[in-house]
Amino acid sequence: MARLKNLSLLVLTEECLEEYFDNLNFAHVGCFKATLSKVLGFCIIAGSLLVKVPQIVKLLQSKSAEGINIFSVLMDLFAITATVSYSFISGFPFSSWGDGIFLSLQTLAIAVLIMYYSGNMIHATAFLAAYLSIIIAATSGLTPVEVLWFCQTMNIPIVLTSKLMQAYTNYSNGSTGQLSAITGFLLFFGSLARIFTSYQETGDVTMIVTYTCSTSANAVLALQILYYWNVDTKSKSKMKKVQ
């Protein structure tokens, strides 16, 4: 029983542990919300380990970054990095922002690959070195928390702009190019769940608004993936009938 209680502390607070194990009060609303938030948070973190891997694989297989807006990717990377740095310095629970670590690494890989396949190997190397320097400065205490808060606040227009830039690129091209459908849908559901976990675990209004905007923008991209997927399917069917 002692081991079970210790393991339960990963997703339960001391108060909820007492409610569940000592008082056997399994209908406690507050504890249900807190526990659900923790479980969702860790599920999101687990999912983030691979969420953008399909996109990376697609880039590596095609050896092309066609249809992917590099400025959108860079702005997305800034937004994720700002959230992780601000959350880390603010001391928020790991379950409320841990996915950002893996998302930032994968987004960084995508940005570097786009630069590489665009023939800018020197730019890709320099960008990688610069990004690592920024991360060290942002999480080591060298950067004032006020600056990190401002960067987090800037995430709202940045997230909207970066996602809508990609949406406009898709619209202009009449397809989603090398965008991964799996990645697109996982990002949408992940940001949707983060609205709840941010409200429950941090109570930070900026974080909540940021994830709400991100979810809305990710929904646009997810709908585009579905729309152009259907368009491509219909076009291929017509081509087969003509042949």
Residue 92: CB atoms within 10 A of its CB come to 19
Model confidence over 142-180: pLDDT tens digits?
889 899 999 888 888 988 888 888 899 889 888 887 778
Model confidence over 212-227: pLDDT tens digits?
999 999 999 999 998 8
Q: Could you tell me which residues come within 8 angstroms of residue 234 by beta carbon, excluding any fewer than 6 positions away? A: none
Question: Cα(98)–Cα(88) distance, rounded to whole angstroms?
Answer: 9
The torsion defined by the Cα of 157, 125, 101 and 219, in degrees rounded to 10, comes to 40
pLDDT at 240: 47
pTM comes to 0.74
Kindly tell me if the per-residue pLDDT of 186 is higher than 50.
yes
Kindly tell me if the per-residue pLDDT of 126 is higher than 90.
yes
Model confidence over 67-97: pLDDT tens digits?
788 888 998 899 899 999 999 998 988 888 9
Question: Cα(33)–Cα(19) distance, rounded to whole angstroms?
Answer: 13
Question: Cα(20)–Cα(31) distance, rounded to whole angstroms?
Answer: 9
Kindly report the average pLDDT of the chain as a whole number. Answer: 84
Model confidence over 22-66: pLDDT tens digits?
667 677 777 888 888 888 888 889 888 888 898 899 899 988 888
Tell me which of 234 and 169 has the higher pLDDT.
169
pLDDT at 43: 87
Question: Cα(182)–Cα(171) distance, rounded to whole angstroms?
Answer: 19
Kindly tell me if the per-residue pLDDT of 241 is higher than 70.
no
> How many degrees, rounded to 5, is the angle at CA 156 between CA 152 and CA 161?
125
The torsion defined by the Cα of 73, 75, 80 and 86, in degrees rounded to 10, comes to 160
Model confidence over 191-210: pLDDT tens digits?
999 999 898 888 889 889 98
pLDDT at 132: 93
pLDDT at 31: 80
